[in-house]
Amino acid sequence: MKIKELLSRDNSDGYPIILTTDRTLASDYNGSEFIGFGSTFPKIIPTPLYTPLFSPSVSHNKGILKFAHCGTRKIEASLLENGFSKDDVIVAHPDHLSRMIGPETKVLGITTHDPLGIGPASSTFSSLVGGEPYSAVFFKRLTCNPLLRRHGVKTVVGGPGTWQLDDPRIMKKYNIDTIVIGEGEKVAPEIFENIAEGKELPKRVDGGVVDVKDMPIIKGATINGLVEISRGCGRGCDFCIPTLKKLRHRPVADILEEGKLNLEWGNQSILLHAEDALRYGAKKIEPKPEKLMKLLKSIGRYTKNIDFSHAALASIVSKPEMIREITQFLNIGSKEKPWFSCQIGIETGSPRLASKHLRGKAKPFDVDNWPSIVKEAFGVMKDNHWVPCTTLIMGLPGEDADDVMKTMELLDELEDHKFFVVPLMYVPLGVSRNTDFFSMEDMLAEHWQLLAKCIEKDLDVAPDLIKEMAKINNISNVRKYSYLLLKWIMENRLDTYIKIMKEGINPLTVKYGKR
């Protein structure tokens, strides 16, 4: 059903089923995955400045989203394919729920990534500068809407962030009736049907692992044209949930149908999503270039404005000729597409820690050579105009000063490469979920030095990246120069802090005279 058809109906009594997200997930982040990290910032940047720069709203018509989170679209499709009426299911903008909720509303389904603001990125930023992350602020605003209680609406929450809510006390505080842990397409129809019939709901539902044949084709456009091509990973990093899941690849025909739908609805590009897009179609650990190229060429009949969400360093090293073929096919390095980006995890420069926590991340190579794998992959990316957004993890269990020093040494060896780096504080997930969170109080002197090095690197590459992103994504001059102004303010304010951090000292203790 098109948006105009939904708008033509009388919704004065509300829509029976409303699907939405918190406000940080209702944004295209100005078309850039780099900027998407801003959604985890604490609420110290004034909202009127934060919203247009880091979380501009996606299009909607009287509260009905034109572009929505891919996970939300999957649940919508699952409901529609399992007997629910198009007239009863709506994907709504979180800021416009008041016009959607009414006496007929039975359930609010929420997709979330970081509801309490304790994910890796938000934990890092809030620990360092204080303040509640925007993701937590907006999630609380969403679930505590008084209209939900007034009309007796049941609230069901799913998505990768539901592990944060897996506690009856937290669920009560946020007025949540049921959470879905894991993948939701198979269990959502039964949950929503039980709500419609007034049946008692379990507090926690395990969504399990959904087979490819049970992954529905979306019915509406996604934010930034995101299309899921694979699910799971299988590399087995012990701090990550997706890496523990079985790797499954969706058929080219299904992917192509979703890609064409996104283009028809107005998206200008297609963002292929997987934990490692380079392994699309591969049954084992090494990529199958012919499978990925078949997919790219199928989509390329309609657009060559294609991006990847994530890639793995070991995949790049194992098939460098595939990277060259992708670069040539997508015209990367041209005036229209000067560089190509995706998120890539370095995590550590310590072979000892890599062997302990991310052995599978190096396969098919020996994890003891992890720094060499990283450097070789960066060399391949540099030759092909790939500019990755990389992550590092501070505080992996057992990390000592020597491990951190090795990470800094690796960054020094990558100094001539163009990339963005986001240092993340360790959050216990996956098989390591029973370990402790890493916080600012746990930081060694070397951690502060590493943080300073990361900030300097990002401030160094930020101006060029911002200008190029503004041109590629048609960001207005006002926003472009606002980013540069923000960068200038941060650089000047942080200059003293960086000098202190280079000494291995928490700059906040100096600021308040506690050195």
Task: Compute CA 299 distance to the chain's CA centroid, rounded to the nearest angstrom.
Answer: 23
Q: Rounded distance, CA 15 to CA 105, Å?
A: 5
Q: Are 343 and 217 in contact (CB under 8 A)?
A: no
pLDDT of residue 7: 47
What is the pLDDT, as a whole number, of residue 473?
66
Encode burial over 132-141: b for 16+ CB neighbours within 10 A, e otherwise. Answer: ebbbbbbbbe
Residue 507, pLDDT above cutoff 90: no
The mean-pLDDT minimum among 215-229, 365-379, 477-491, 499-513 falls in 477-491
Residue 468: predicted pLDDT: 74
What pLDDT is attached to residue 1?
A: 46
User: pLDDT digit string (tens) for 310-362?
Assistant: 999 999 999 999 999 999 999 999 988 999 999 999 999 999 999 999 999 99
User: Taking residues 211-235, what's their average pLDDT?
Assistant: 95
Q: Write down the pLDDT at residue 128.
A: 75
Angstrom distance (rounded) from CA 104 to CA 75: 20
- H-state helical runs in 178-251: 188-196
Cα separation values, 114 from 133, 185, 426, Å: 9, 20, 15
Handedness of CA 247, 253, 254, 256 (dihedral sign): positive
Computed over every residue of the chain, the mean pLDDT equals 90
The CA dihedral of 416, 417, 422, 427, to the nearest 10 degrees, is -100
Q: What share of the chain is helix, strand, coil (3-state, %, to 5)?
A: 50, 15, 35
Tokens of 155: 């609230």
User: Does residue 430 have a pLDDT over 80?
Assistant: no
Region 505-515: mean pLDDT is 67
The predicted pLDDT at position 445 comes to 97
The 8-class DSSP code of residue 175 comes to: T
Of the candidates 411, 511, 396, the residue with the CA atom closest to the CA atom of residue 451? 411
pLDDT at 496: 83
Report pLDDT for 512. 46
The sign one gets for the Cα dihedral 320, 323, 328, 331 is: negative
Q: Residue 449: its pLDDT value, please?
A: 97
pLDDT beyond 80 at 20: yes
- Residue 334's alpha-carbon distances to 268, 338, 385, in angstroms, are 18, 5, 9
Q: 76-80, 348-352, 436-440, 481-485: which range is least confident on average?
A: 481-485
For the segment 248-287, what is each residue's pLDDT rounded down to a tens digit? 999 999 999 999 999 999 999 999 999 999 999 999 999 9
Cβ neighbours around 337 below 10 Å, total: 17
Cα–Cα distance measured from residue 456 to residue 51, given in angstroms and rounded to the nearest whole number: 25
pLDDT grade for 485, boundaries at 50, 70 and 90: low
Which 3 state secondary structure label does DSSP give 345?
Answer: strand
CA distances from 385 to 279, 340, 346 (A): 20, 6, 18
Q: What is the mean pLDDT of residues 417-446?
A: 87
Q: Does residue 431 register a pLDDT over 90? A: no
Report helix, strand or coil for 306. strand
**86 vs 320: which has the higher pLDDT:** 320
Contacts of residues 169-177 at CB distance under 8 Å and 24 or more positions apart, as own/partner, are 170/116, 171/203, 174/115, 174/139, 174/140, 174/143, 174/144, 175/143, 175/144, 175/148, 175/149, 176/143, 177/201, 177/203
Structure tokens at 257: 């149908």
Nearest-angstrom CA–CA distance, 371 and 363: 13
Contact 204, 158 (CB under 8 A): no
Residue, of 429 and 476, whose pLDDT is higher: 429
| pLDDT > 60? residue 9 | no
Res 103: pLDDT: 95
Token pair, residue 39, equals 């959604």
Q: What is the pTM of this model?
A: 0.92
Percent of the chain having pLDDT more than 90? Answer: 71
DSSP 159: S
Domain segments of the chain as ranges: 14-385
Is the Cβ–Cβ distance between 439 and 492 less than 8 Å?
no
